[in-house]
Amino acid sequence: MDCLFCKIINGEIPSNKIYEDEKIIAFYDINPEAKIHFLVVPKTHICCADKIDGSNSHLIAYIFEKIPELAKKSGITNGYRIINNCGEDSCQSVKHIHFHVLGGEKLPEHIR
Ligand code: AMP
Ligand code: ZN
């Protein structure tokens, strides 16, 4: 499958990794939009939040359990924003579900 994040997961494309286990990988965004900006990605290919169901929601729950630990590990100490883009109108550019974690500075109050 021609999926950028599957290629990062299987090592075909390098990434600046923060964390990896059997279920997920977390790496810094190549084009950061905050002082600290990383992505948390399940190793299972799920295209987007629209396809979360009873068969894969445990992976999403696991990601949210891990985020506090990963935020701390990345140096975030004062709060963060979690973003998920889903589908065309959100401008999701990589069609493998991922959660952006942004922090390390005061973020703009509103995002569109
Ligand atoms: P989205 O627009 O929500 O699909 O987010 C995709 C994100 O992946 C963007 O913030 C990109 O900067 C990021 N990205 C694209 N290619 C890479 C890469 N090779 N390594 C790390 N992050 C990437
Ligand atoms: Zn994929």
Asked whether residue 60 is domain-assigned, the answer is yes
**Sign, Cα dihedral of 48, 59, 69, 24:** negative
| Res 1: pLDDT | 76
Is 98 annotated as catalytic?
Answer: yes
Tally of domains in the chain = 1
For residues 66-84, average pLDDT: 98
| Res 112: pLDDT | 62
Asked whether residue 22 is domain-assigned, the answer is yes
**Ligand 1 atom nearest 15 alpha carbon:** 20
94 Cβ closer than 6 Å to some ligand 1 atom: yes
Asked whether residue 86 is domain-assigned, the answer is yes
| Res 23: pLDDT | 98
- Which helix (H) or strand (E) element contains residue 42? strand 36-42
The residue range of the domain holding 62 is 4-103
CA 52, CA 84: separation in Å to the nearest integer? 13
Percent of the chain with pLDDT strictly greater than 70 = 99
**Ligand 1 atom nearest 92 alpha carbon:** 4
CA angle 1, 40, 89 (to 5 degrees): 70
Q: Which CATH number characterizes residue 55's domain?
A: 3.30.428.10
